[in-house]
Structure 1
Amino acid sequence: MNEQVLSNLSMVTSVVVYLLAMFAHAAEWASARRLDPAAETVEGSVTETASQRVAERELVAAGAGGGSVVEAPAAETLDSHPDGTGGADAPAEAGAVRQRVESFGRIGFALTVIGFALSVLGVVLRGVAAGRAPWGNMYEFTTAAMVFIVAVYLVLAGRFRMRWLGLPVTLLAAIGNGLAVTVFYVAVAPLVPALHSVWFLIHIVAAAISGAAFNVGGVASILYLIKRRAENKGAVRGYLTRLPEARKIDVIAYRFNAFAFPLWTFTVAAGSIWAEYAWGRYWGWDPKETWALVTWVIYACYLHARATAGWRGRNAAIIGIIGMASFWFNFIGVNLLFAGLHSYAGV
């Protein structure tokens, strides 16, 4: 069994593991349907909140005059609940729900780490089998891009407690690697002459890193729109209670897009220098070059609108999502639909 076969096996297995991680995070979101929004947004348990209400009632009763003691109505005590169910069981039930949600989340995160390790192994073995950097075609770039995206998520989840990105990121990783091993796959082959340049490494690495940031920003924008809609309706329930406020998610999306934009600018510039080395011109309006510029313009509009027109929130999120869609069309759609000098990177 050679390195190429082992690489393929690792990639196929990573798709299965990412799917399992996605299902675990989906179960995490589904289990959170019974979470009490008040219990999740206010520090302290349901029991403490009820105890505070009883204590406040006793203080009011003590000062009601004549020193008489007024007992709290039975329906308001911890042993009863207005709907006739045992209110004393509510804190325990809420704790069980939170524990279930947390367990599914940890399982999803652990599976994501395993899927990431398998993807890294697959990319490394592909490079060993090819005897070069494993970024020479659409299959190789897709698998490498998924490694960068999941790596960013793992850092955010482990260091900054942003595990709420787990469901969309594992969905994206499963789809990306799944397409790579089923639709984009090509056997290991030598690089075409145009790729024999140091700019090959510089351009591709910059594109992969900026693409990872754009995708995290786009995912955050989608979650922002969902959370904002719930907040406007006053219906923040279930797993949405565990997400930050909508305005904070908007800031997260902005920071990732703002980080990625100058790096994407460098990617386009490096590609132009590489084009001059390979084809004798800096810019030729090749479909890939043209759509890379379109993507750049969309994100330039995003940052300009936020800085000058005050387009924060919904409008900015929509532009960010359009930018992410443009990035993926440039990455996949152009290769599949148009012929050009970049056709060597196709399937």
Structure 2
Amino acid sequence: MPVNHTLSNYSDLSFKTAFVIYVLGLILSIVYYVKQSQVLAEPAKELVGAGGPAVVEKPEATDNSEKWAGMTQSMIWLAIIFHGVSVVLRGMSASRFPFGNLYEYVAMVTLVAMAIAAWVIQRRELRAMWPWVLTPVIVLLFYGGMKLYAASAPVVPALQSFWFPIHVSTVSIGAGVGMISGMASLLYVLRMNQPKGSEHGIMGAILRPLPSAKTLDGLAYKAAVWALPIFGIGVALGAIWAESAWGRFWGWDPKETISLVTWVLYAAYLHARATSGWKNTAAAWINIVAFGMMVFNLFFINMVVSGLHSYAGLN
């Protein structure tokens, strides 16, 4: 079918609008982050009751800083709406699911990651995570829009299959959840070196507003619990599609192999996290490596290595 260039142009405009709003959201989140750091850096006050023991009152976020947090959250949801509109219009412009090239895949994965993050980070104790979550997403969107962009077009014949939207959408959701889990594990490792309330040095000042290590570790674990089965189902559906398209379930294609390795690493992380003999920090490093493998698979395998999954849409 011919491409609807009007819808394609509106998709591109929505993508750019979402990017700008995400950047504004990042600026607002940094302001909130700095204000939180200043509040938490204030010394605790001792309140002495009448004839009673001294009570230590820890500084809390001011109403002013909470306003910045609320504006950040509103800005993020607005950006997600434009982001979603961009993805939907992209698919409508070519009368197909919007997973035909690397630009569209990056847009989809980041959309899933941001939707999940926005839902989870509504909790007050997690709001300080926004600068850390938004920064890599904005970098991905910038790189996707500048270097990976491909004009809307019908998918190549190899992708014209019933399994195409099912396999890619499942993998995208699993990858989006995995991004949240990996980032939480990375922040957990950083926080373990700078325990909450005992921060020191420049790094301590930077990490002061972050949630406790326990909270970050719990978020990473819960996200990985979802990422493992969803991503695994996506890999299994890809194998079924491979049998239909190429006559075999598995051929050790580079993307297949790295996807399997990533899934095994997620399984290893959850196993280590649930095993009493493992320290949570050591388990977190496995999750960070899994996150790194996913990024490696997304860029290096798609853009450099030649294989049966070379559908990046790049010249």
TM-score range, shorter chain: 0.7 to 0.9
CA–CA distance in 1 between the matches of 2:115 and 2:91?
19
Q: Give the structure 1 partner of residue 243 of structure 2.
A: 276
CA–CA distance in 2 between the matches of 1:170 and 1:133?
26
Structure 1: runs of 5+ lacking an equivalent:
41-45, 61-75, 77-90
TM-score (norm. length: structure 1): 0.80
| Matching of residues 232-247 of structure 1 within 5 Å | 234-235=198-199, 243-247=210-214
8 A contact 2:125–2:211 mirrored in 1: no
Q: Give the structure 1 partner of residue 118 of structure 2.
A: 154
- For 2:35, what is the secondary structure of its paired residue? helix
| Matching of residues 130-145 of structure 1 within 5 Å | 130-145=94-109
Measured against aligned partners, the alpha-carbon deviations of 1:75-109 in whole angstroms (never above 9, x if no partner) come to x9xxxxxxxxxxxxxx9xx67x6233222222221
Is 2:187 the partner of 1:223? yes
CA–CA distance in 1 between the matches of 2:233 and 2:124?
28
8 A contact 2:33–2:128 mirrored in 1: no
Alignment: residue pair count? 305
Measured against aligned partners, the alpha-carbon deviations of 1:100-125 in whole angstroms (never above 9, x if no partner) come to 32222222212111211111111111
Q: Give the structure 2 partner of residue 298 of structure 1.
A: 265
The letter of the residue matching 1:13 is T
Asked which structure has the greater RCO (Cα within 8 Å, sep 6+), the reply is: 1
8 A contact 2:242–2:250 mirrored in 1: yes
Does the C-alpha gap of structure 1 residues 30 and 38 become closer, same or farther in structure 2, counting only changes over 3 Å?
closer
Residue number among 22, 35, 38 corresponding to 2:39 in the alignment: 35
CA–CA distance in 2 between the matches of 1:242 and 1:234?
12
CA–CA distance in 1 between the matches of 2:68 and 2:190?
22
Q: Give the structure 1 partner of residue 146 of structure 2.
A: 182
The CA RMSD over aligned residues, in Å, is 2.7
The letter of the residue matching 2:97 is A
Structure (1/2) with the larger helix percentage: 1
| Matching of residues 301-320 of structure 1 within 5 Å | 301-308=268-275, 310-320=277-287
Q: Give the structure 1 partner of residue 234 of structure 2.
A: 267
Residue 250 (structure 1) shift: 1.0
TM-score (norm. length: structure 2): 0.87
Residue 334 (structure 1) shift: 0.6
| Matching of residues 41-80 of structure 1 within 5 Å | 46=45, 49-50=46-47, 53=48, 55-56=50-51
Residue 241 (structure 1) shift: 5.8
CA–CA distance in 2 between the matches of 1:18 and 1:230?
28
Is 2:171 the partner of 1:207? yes
Higher mean C-alpha deviation, range 230-239 or range 14-23:
230-239
CA–CA distance in 1 between the matches of 2:218 and 2:209?
17
CA–CA distance in 1 between the matches of 2:7 and 2:197?
54
Is 2:273 the partner of 1:332? no
8 A contact 2:40–2:209 mirrored in 1: no
